[in-house]
Structure formats: structure tokens, C-alpha cells
Structure 1
Amino acid sequence: MSLDSPSVPGMTSSLPSNEAFARRHRVVMSGPLPPAIGGMASVVGALSQSLLASQTHLTLFDTGKKTAANRTLLQGIRARLQLMRDWSALLAGQPGTIAHIHTCSGFTFFLDGLLAFVARWHGCRVVLHVHGGLFDAFLDGLNPAMLRIAQHIARRADLVLALSEDWRERLGQRLPGSRIAVLQNGVAEPTCEPQRGTNARTTFLFLGNLSHLKGVPVLLDALELAQADWCVQLAGNESEPGYRERLGDEIERRGLAERATLLGPVVGEAKQQLLARADAFVLPSLAEGLPMSLLEAMAARLPVVATTVGAIPEVIDEGVEGHLVPPGEAAPLAQAMDRLAVLTPLQRESMGRAAHASYTLGYSVDAMAQTLLGIYEREFVVSATSSTAQMPSTSD
């Protein structure tokens, strides 16, 4: 399957617009591709539709899992070997190509380390783009031998990308000798106009995996402590088989069925409609990188309640775009949601406009693409080769 990204008409850039500049860099970007759900897939998809596609020769390489969940070990090994062969064939004979590898914690990081090794073997420049809110905990939990391997993978990359200044500091402490730059996530402008004022009670929207890590149990506790009349819609995949059913049982047991609605995974137009109709957004995570759902809510002009984890305090100013609360504490979360719930619609709208203004300045897709292009220009000498290539099918 070929997935060379097309030019994006109608986008403007502060960069020189002549073709000699626009096609200087050849970029092969690996990661899970949409319609896969998750932050990495969202970032790759957004970049593929941004001005990055018109300013570089951009090719996407899908590393998303394609085999069945009950595959055998042998099937998994064969799929991974085929993926490595496809990756090698794509990069062969293209020295100077930027191999931009989206990665995260766990065994995935070491598998992506193999992609980085192959890319370097072909003379490519390697960028490791680190996602996820538990990458520091992942590194801290490795035994000494595996930590040295992880540090070696990062050092051998030409550049490691962190999601925020906070994450640059965390990674720098754990990956000594690595060259680290910051690339903040960005999301697209919503496709739906806000449709506020359609809810019988103030309605908060939660977007994320239904899990302990995203603070869902704390959110239920906050519902029980609430003094104002508000409800919450929870949209997302279950973190493990059976979690949604257990969560539904817990909601029934606590008598919260009229105020907590489980929607399951919601994507595309359906997600845009939820954002347009909600009155506010809540994300009580215990750990984060730079959550895409938070940025989507800001783009949709929603005031937010979120926790002081990861890059979130760099994005939200207390009392301006919404409220910040400590992670894992139900009482402050309930109080913050109460404060938003008792505001008038016009007051919430004012906070939502502030959120959208912050999004426009720093967290749009164009802002992310402009920053990434600047990083490429600053860090890498232009290659003599800039021809496009076809992306092979992958089987993992």
C-alpha cells in the first residue's frame, strides 16, 4: 500500500515557498496510522495532512498491529520480520533520509530501536518521537542491563523529541548523552460549530481510555461528592477486557446511572459532535504526556478541568482556560467541576474562548508542523537525495 502524503492546498507557511526549499527533506515517518485509536495515530494522521506533507517528501510507514489478538508467537515473529524487511527496503539507497520513528514505553520501544538500527545502517538520520505519560516510569523500572540498552538506543538517535519542556527534563535525566528537542502535540480545527445550551444539566465530556491511569475511579468518587448539578459522558476504549462492564456495574451500584453515561469508543464525526454539544471537558489522569483529547477540547472551545501531570500545567492556566487539580484526589476534582457547573453559559463560553486562543497559538496542527520543520532545518544538513518512495504493505 502506498501512502505518500499529498500536498495540502490552501495552507500558508512562514517558510520559503519555492520548490527548491519545499522538497529538500525526504522524511519516512513510522507509527500506527489512522483509523487506529490513540495519541500516536492521531499525531501521525495530523502531520500527514499538514503543511509538512507539502514542505517535504513525506512517506508514512504503518507499524500498527495487523495480526489477530490470538496470534501465535511464531506468527508474531514472522509478522515482525516482514515489517523489518519492508522498512529496510523502503530506506535502501536513500542515505540522508530522516527516519522519524514514533515510539512509546514498553517492549514497543525496543522494537522501534530495531527500526532505528536499520535506518542508521542505511545512512538515515534517526528521530525518536517519544509519546505516553509513563515513559519515565518505564525507564525507571528497567533492570540495569535493559536500561543501558534503552539509553544506547536514544544516544544513537540523531534526535529525541519530547512533548514538553517538563518531559525534556525528565528524559534528559534518564537518557544521558541524548540530544533532545521539544515538539508539542497539535490537533486539527473542529469540523462542528459549538452547540452549547442543549443539555438539561451541565455536561462534562471525558475522552480517553477507560482506566485507572486516566482517573476514572476518581471521577466516580467526585460525582458522589458533587454539590452542583452536573453529569459526565465517558467516551473511550476499555483499558482491558471486561473493564467497561465492571465500570458499568460500579456506576449502578453507586446509584450514578443518571449522571454517568458510558459511550464506548467514539471517533470521527461522532466525536466532533460530542465536543460540540458538551459544556465542559474533564481529564483526571494520574499520568500524561501531552493528551490529544485535552487539545481537542480546547480547539472545540470547551473550558477544562484537568490534573497537574505531564505537560498539562504548561497548557492550562488556572482560572483562565479552566481549572487544575492534583491527581488522584476526588474532593478537589469535585469542587473544580462544581465551580464550572454553576457558571452561566456565557461565563463558560468566555473560558472556552481563552482555551481556543491558547490552542490556536501553540497547539494547532499548523503550529506542530511549523515547529517540526524548523527542527529538521536546524538539526539536519540537506541530503542530496530527495526522491519519493512507495511504502510497502506491512503485516504486523
Structure 2
Amino acid sequence: MACRSFIDRVKRSSIFCGGVCMNWLSAVTSCVRRVRTVMSRRAQPRVLLVLKIPPPFGGGELMHQMMAAAFESKYKVLSFNRKTHSKSTQGRFLLSNLIFGSYFLLRVSFTCLLQRPKIVFIWLPKDWYPFLRTLLLAHVLKKMGIRVIGDLHGMDFDFSKRRFRQVHSADAFSAVRVLSGSIARSLRANGYPHHLAVIDNGLEAPSFVHQRQPRHPQEMRLLYMGAISAAKGFADVVKWLDLLEAVSLPWTLSVVGEWVNADFREEMLTTLRAKAYSSRVIFTGVLIDEAKWQALIAHDLLIHFSSWDGQPLTIIEAMAAAVPTIARPVGAIPEMIQDGVNGFLIDDLEEAVQVTRQLYAGEISLSAIANNARELFQRRFRHDIFIGEIERLIARISNSSGFSLSKTEEMFTMKTNARSGHHCNP
């Protein structure tokens, strides 16, 4: 009995010691993992992303919303949105804009003092007063030893070239991300001194969007998506509808977006009420998330007659949904759409009527154009490609010897983009 009791005690003590050992091993392993995590975070550049997210629901805001979701676990993210703001008040000298500007400067400056990031990635406003505010902030951050990357969503700035040259005598930004080579060349021609990195927009589409199969339409289901304004070509859309009626082509038009100007809204609605086809023009307001994608896949053709644009997110979304676009060749659009291959570029409304008539008659294969558009999206405009390019730009700025990309590094950036199917500046 004594012998058996002794053996039981040895077994129990062995089990206990083994448990203790296992606990110690588990604790050591956990510590090692934590140390590795901390070290890997320290090895990454300290980055602050200053992002403008919806509302309002512009292309730049939507892209930054995607960036915030992708990088929130890796970088520090400061998000700004204005629920009562609209495109009509953007950039104007208003008390609400002054209050927001002061809040913006204080919040970003205070965060930089506390966090001491090595790099700040920040959106560049296209309007004069907000741009001056951001430029001032960039100069202050540079004095603090922080490298600043600007993000320009658009084909240019809205203010004059004279003002442009006055404020750009010094390099406040280490680099500026632009949307296409043509936009970069235009900025260079206007005297823009900063280093320019060409990175396409990119997005992630729901799985059901990729399953859509384009068909030959019984009537042309047309879609206008975006800000409803004269600059975005909505008045020309109405004139184009008159021309479609003249050739007896069956159609319906859905208008998705918000009005930018109350006077323009009243003018257009008054014009449409006098048309016999007014019941075939449906205004849905702003649609987001699944409702937006459902609207896309329910239509045959996206209409984008804008005279001023960068790299429209609506065209990329349409490509993901295999919906061809008719557009004017402005901004980065000619580097997105190859005429007659994955969409259509037009110089006047008669061309747009001709293309629409040929698609309806089957003289041009709608399904072939649509599938080519989707293939380009998969090759060039996916979300993972965009996020990877942004990370590479941040790494290059972090590892550059000076405060900005050297000419050699800048050319390397362009060549890399060119090899991956991106268009680049000279």
C-alpha cells in the first residue's frame, strides 16, 4: 500500500511539474510573439493617414473610406467627414468652412505632436482656401521633420495658374499621388514642383457583381451616376435624350446622385417637365453600398459627359459590373477607356447618339465591350493593387535619403507603374 501510495504521489508531482513547465513554455512563447509583433511594428514606418470620408459621397471620399478600412490596423488614421456639408458649399468662404478648417489644423497638428509620425498622407483640396490651409500645414509638418505625401483626386486644381505658381515656390510635399500620366504632365506644365507618383484608384466589388452577364437590350437602360451639375455634363445628357427621341430609340434613364446647385436643379427639372419623355427619367438620390451596385448591374450603359474630371470612381465601378461607359476624353479617362474596345470616347452628342444606336441595333457587340471593361478592372483597378501601390509609395518615401523622392527613385516609380499596366508621367 505504501509503495502504491508513493507511486501515486510521484505521478501527481510529475503531472504538476509538467503542467508548470507547460505553463512556463506557453508564457515564454507568448512573450516572444509579443516582442516580434512590437519589433515588426517598429520596423514599419510611423504613418499618419489624414483622410476625408463621406459624406459628401464623392469619389475621393469613397476612396479614402476604403483606405481607412484597409489600413486602420497598420497605421494611425484620422478621418474627417461633414454630415451637413455638400458639394455646393465646398471651397467657399463660409463661417462653417472656417470652423472646420480651424478644427482640422488643430486636430492634425496635435496628433502629430503626440504621435510623432515619420510620414503623413493627406488629401489635397482642389479649392483655393482649403488648399492654402493644407499647404500651410504641410510646411509646418516639414519643419517638424515629418514627410508629407499629398493625394490629389481630380485632373487639376480649381484656382488659377497664377495663384498656383505663387504658392509653389518651395517643396512642402515629399510626393504627390496623382491619377494618371496626363494629369502629371499637365501639373508639370503649370509649374508644379513636387514629385509626382501615378497610382490608379482601385476598389473591391461584391461577388454578385462579377456574376452579371451582359445581354443585348430590348431597350437601352441608361445610367447617370455622380454629382448632378453642369460641370459633370447633366445639361448635355438632357440634350442627348432629345436626340435619342429624334431617332426613335427606346430608352430609360436612372439618375443616381445629389444636386450640386439649387438653381441648376430647378432649371433642369423645369426643362424635363416640359418633355414628353419626362416619366422615363428617374431620380433616385444618392445610393451607397449594395443599393449602388444593384443599380449598376440593372443598366446597360453608363453616361459620363463630364467636362472636368480625374479618374472617375463611377467608371471603375461600371467596369467591375461589366457596364460600358460613354464619356468625354478629359482627365485620366482616355487612359482608362480605349474607344470601341472597353468603352466609348466621344467629342460631341451626335457621336454619343451614333454609338447608342449601333449598340441597340447589335452593330457593336455590347457583351464584348462589357467583358473587356471587366477584364481591365481585374487587371488594373482592383482594391488589392491600389493598396499595394500606396504601401510601396509610403515605403519609398520612408527609405529615401532626402525629404522627397530623388529623380532616380521617381523614375523607378513610373517605370514600375508602366510595367504593371499603369500610365505614367514623363
TMscore range, shorter length: 0.7 to 0.9
Q: Deviation string for 1:138-181 (max 9, x for gaps)?
A: 35x25x4x33443146x221111111000111111223432111
1:172 aligns with 2:191: no
Q: 1:47 to 1:23 in 2, by over 3 A?
A: farther
- CA drift of 1:191 comes to 5.2
Alignment correspondent of 1:44: 64
CA distance in 2, matches of 1:222, 1:76: 37
What amino acid sits opposite 2:379 in the alignment? Answer: L
What amino acid sits opposite 1:81 in the alignment? Answer: S
- CA drift of 1:66 comes to 5.9
| Structure showing greater relative contact order (alpha-carbon pairs closer than 8 Å, 6 or more residues apart) | 1
Q: 1:161 to 1:354 in 2, by over 3 A?
A: same
Match of 1:246 among 248, 252, 267: 267
Match of 1:211 among 229, 234, 246: 229
Q: Deviation string for 1:232-255 (max 9, x for gaps)?
A: 211111111243333222112232
More helix by share: 2
Alignment correspondent of 1:202: 220
Q: 1:18 to 1:191 in 2, by over 3 A?
A: farther
**What TM-score, normalized by structure 1, do the two folds share?**
0.80
* Number of matched pairs: 355
Match of 1:375 among 387, 390, 393: 393
CA distance in 1, matches of 2:133, 2:169: 14
Match of 1:338 among 357, 365, 370: 357
Q: 1:371 to 1:223 in 2, by over 3 A?
A: same
Q: 1:207 to 1:231 in 2, by over 3 A?
A: same
CA distance in 2, matches of 1:382, 1:62: 29
Q: Is the 8 A contact 1:25 1:382 kept in 2?
A: no
Alignment correspondent of 1:261: 282
CA distance in 1, matches of 2:116, 2:400: 11
1:150 aligns with 2:180: no
Q: Matches of residues 312-327 of structure 1 in structure 2 within 5 Å? A: 312-326=333-347
- CA drift of 1:121 comes to 3.4
1:122 aligns with 2:139: no
- CA drift of 1:95 comes to 4.1
SS of residue matched to 2:186: helix
1:182 aligns with 2:198: yes
RMSD: 3.1
Q: Is the 8 A contact 1:196 1:278 kept in 2?
A: no
What amino acid sits opposite 1:60 in the alignment? Answer: L
Alignment correspondent of 1:11: none
Q: Is the 8 A contact 2:168 2:192 kept in 1?
A: yes
- CA drift of 1:295 comes to 0.5
Q: Is the 8 A contact 2:302 2:325 kept in 1?
A: yes
Q: Does 28-37 or 100-109 show the bigger shift?
A: 28-37
Q: Deviation string for 1:275-306 (max 9, x for gaps)?
A: 12111211111121100111010011111211
Match of 1:92 among 113, 116, 140: 113
Alignment correspondent of 1:111: 133
Q: Is the 8 A contact 1:298 1:359 kept in 2?
A: yes
**What TM-score, normalized by structure 2, do the two folds share?**
0.75
Q: 1:176 to 1:217 in 2, by over 3 A?
A: closer
Percent of residue pairs identical: 24
SS of residue matched to 2:237: helix
Alignment correspondent of 1:276: 297
CA distance in 1, matches of 2:235, 2:225: 14
Q: Is the 8 A contact 2:55 2:85 kept in 1?
A: no
Q: 1:221 to 1:173 in 2, by over 3 A?
A: same
What amino acid sits opposite 1:20 in the alignment? Answer: S
- CA drift of 1:339 comes to 2.3
- CA drift of 1:229 comes to 2.0
Q: Is the 8 A contact 2:165 2:191 kept in 1?
A: no
Match of 2:320 among 299, 304, 313: 299
CA distance in 2, matches of 1:276, 1:75: 38
Q: 1:78 to 1:259 in 2, by over 3 A?
A: closer
What amino acid sits opposite 2:252 in the alignment? Answer: C
Q: Is the 8 A contact 1:67 1:76 kept in 2?
A: no
Alignment correspondent of 1:7: none
Q: Is the 8 A contact 2:222 2:299 kept in 1?
A: yes
- CA drift of 1:53 comes to 4.7
- CA drift of 1:67 comes to 7.5
SS of residue matched to 2:399: coil
Q: 1:342 to 1:104 in 2, by over 3 A?
A: farther
Q: Deviation string for 1:33-73 (max 9, x for gaps)?
A: 134310111110122233x455x42413316476897x996
CA distance in 2, matches of 1:223, 1:67: 31
